Amino acid sequence: MEISTLATYHCLAFVWYFFVAYSITHVKTEERPSEVFLYGGQWKYLTVLNLVLQAVFYGVSFLADVLRLIKKLRCAKCVISSRDLLFSVLAFPVSTFVCISFWTLYTYNRELVYPKSLDAVIPFWLNHAMHTAVLPFALLEILALPHRYPAKKKGLILLGFVAFLYISWVLWIYSETGEWVYPLFALFSPSGLAAFFAGSLAVIISFYNFGEFLNRMIWGQSKFS
């Protein structure tokens, strides 16, 4: 893509994610089903955190495009490195995980992840904006331009650290409220929950590797922005 076209795309994607994140954080919660929006608010859900992550990523991407357009190449190089690290380690694997895990569990038993009572609170379009559209956006980004992936060890350590932070947040909320962020977690024993978290980490790591594979297959080893 031309840099101007990329800048337009990244700007529109940033505006979209900002709008979706704003919409979910300002959803009307006068009737709070199962106290779903109490302790931690919407910030306890990986889906909502992912919206913020995507908005930040596309904001950084747009900034990189603008710097390239105005020939600030030294600054652009630093921002591009941040953009690629954000995309490879977090934006692609997390958005893929959110989409696939959500719809898999939703199909099996929606009450485990998205109780029917939420339909009265969250509009149909917003549900799909949060849980469906994130994957096409991530795939389109891979098709739009190449991204430089970090060394495998560094990438996986960063991804594992972020996963650890989120799991710690989930456990903290449970310790404070006695309620799990997702009803699914209540089905597990402590050892079963640890196995579930470990399995989820393995899945998100596989999505990291899949993104790296797609990037290499489409763009090869040498072509980078």
Kindly state the tokens that stand for 22.
């704003």
- Compute the distance between CA of residue 211 and CA of residue 133 in angstroms, rounded to an integer: 17
pLDDT of residue 224: 46
Q: For the purposes of burial, counting CB atoms within 10 Å of the CB of 152, is it exposed (0-12), middle (13-18) or buried (19 or more)? A: exposed
Q: Per-residue pLDDT for 57 more than 90?
A: yes
Residue 2 has pLDDT above 90, yes or no: no
Contact yes or no for 18/56 (Cβ under 8 A): no
What pLDDT shows up at residue 43? 87
Give the CA angle between residues 202, 18, 13 to the nearest 5°. 75
| Share of residues in the chain with pLDDT > 90 (%) | 72
Mean pLDDT of the chain: 90
User: Which two three-digit tokens encode residue 83?
Assistant: 């953009």
Contact indicator for 196, 182 with CB cutoff of 8 Å: no
The whole-angstrom separation of Cα 174 and Cα 155 is: 29
Label residue 29 by pLDDT band (50, 70, 90): low
In tens, the pLDDT along 160-195 reads: 999 999 999 999 999 988 889 998 999 999 999 999
pLDDT interval class at 121 (50, 70, 90): confident
Tell me the backbone φ, ψ of residue 90, rounded to 5 degrees: -125, -55
Amino acid 42: pLDDT: 83
| pLDDT beyond 80 at 139 | yes
Q: Mean pLDDT, to the nearest integer, of 1-13?
A: 91
Q: Where are the alpha helices (DSSP H) in the chain?
A: 3-25, 46-69, 73-86, 92-109, 124-131, 134-144, 152-177, 190-219
> What ranges do the domains of the chain cover?
3-25+40-219
Model confidence pLDDT, tens digit, residues 61-99: 999 999 988 887 778 899 999 999 999 999 999 999 999
Q: What is the pLDDT of residue 38?
A: 63
Separation of alpha carbons 56 and 95, rounded Å: 13
